[in-house]
Amino acid sequence: MTSRDRRQRGLTLVEIMIAMGIMALMMMLAWSTIKNASDARVNFEALEERNHEIRLALARVSHDLESAYLSINENTRLDNRRTMFIGKSEEVRFSSFGHVSLWADANESDQTVITYFLDDDREDSSLDDLYRRELRRPSNDAPSEQPAELDVLLRGVDKLQFEYWDWQDKKWQDSWDSTKPDAEGNRLPSRVRITVHYTNPRGDELKLSTQARLVLQQPLTQ
One-character DSSP codes across 4-60: HHHHHS---HHHHHHHHHHHHHHHHHHHHHHHHHHHHHHHHHHHHHHHHHHHHHHHH
pLDDT classification of 101: cutoffs 50, 70, 90: low
Domain membership of residue 16 (yes or no) is no
pLDDT, position 220? 79
Domain membership of residue 99 (yes or no) is yes
Domain assignment of residue 189, given as a range: 47-213
pLDDT, position 114? 93
Domain membership of residue 40 (yes or no) is no
* DSSP string for 133-197: EEESS--SS-GGGS--EEEEEES--SEEEEEEEETTTTEEES-EETTSSSTTTT---SEEEEEEE
The 3-state secondary structure of 85-110 reads EEECCCEEEEEECCCCCCCCCCCCCC
Domain membership of residue 62 (yes or no) is yes
The sign one gets for the Cα dihedral 48, 49, 54, 59 is positive
Domain membership of residue 219 (yes or no) is no
pLDDT, position 68? 94
pLDDT classification of 201: cutoffs 50, 70, 90: confident
* Closest by Cα among 213, 209, 183, 212 to 196: 209
* Closest by Cα among 94, 90, 103, 115 to 179: 94
Number of domains in the chain: 1
Return the higher-pLDDT residue of 42 and 174.
Answer: 174
Return the higher-pLDDT residue of 158 and 217.
Answer: 158
Q: Is pLDDT of 146 > 90?
A: no
Domain membership of residue 93 (yes or no) is yes
Domain membership of residue 61 (yes or no) is yes
Q: What is the pLDDT of residues 44-97, one digit of tens each?
A: 788 888 889 999 999 999 999 999 999 888 777 777 788 899 999 999 999 998
Q: Is pLDDT of 128 > 60?
A: yes
Q: What is the pLDDT of residues 19-36, one digit of tens each?
A: 788 888 888 888 778 777
CA triple 94-206-194, angle to 5 deg: 15
Task: Give me Rg for the CA atoms of the chain.
Answer: 30
For the segment 198-204, the average pLDDT, to the nearest whole number, is 86
